[in-house]
Amino acid sequence: MKKLDYASPYPHNTSGVRGVSFDKARNLWEAKISHRGHRVRLGRFPTKEEAAAAYAEAAEKYRA
């Protein structure tokens, strides 16, 4: 069975960071992760780097 690479974004991802997208209405970066079939919103952040850090922390927590 192939192990998934949780660090790489999907091919259609425009932010370049997995789990991070830009909320144009609020002008903020948003981080989300899927866990046990549910979408977990990690929050909105002023920078893409902060959103990416939140995703990385959640990925360690949920997928450890």
pLDDT, tens digit, for every residue of 1-56? 444 555 666 777 888 899 999 999 999 999 999 989 999 999 999 999 999 999 99
pLDDT, residue 45, reads 98
Boundaries of every domain in the chain = 1-64
pLDDT, residue 61, reads 92
pLDDT, residue 33, reads 94
pLDDT, residue 52, reads 95
In terms of CATH architecture, what is 1-64?
2-Layer Sandwich (3.30)
pLDDT, residue 2, reads 46
Please tell me whether the overall predicted TM-score, pTM, comes out greater than 0.85 for this model.
Answer: no
DSSP symbol at 14: S
Phi-psi region of 31 (alpha: psi -120 to 50; beta: other; left: phi over 0): beta
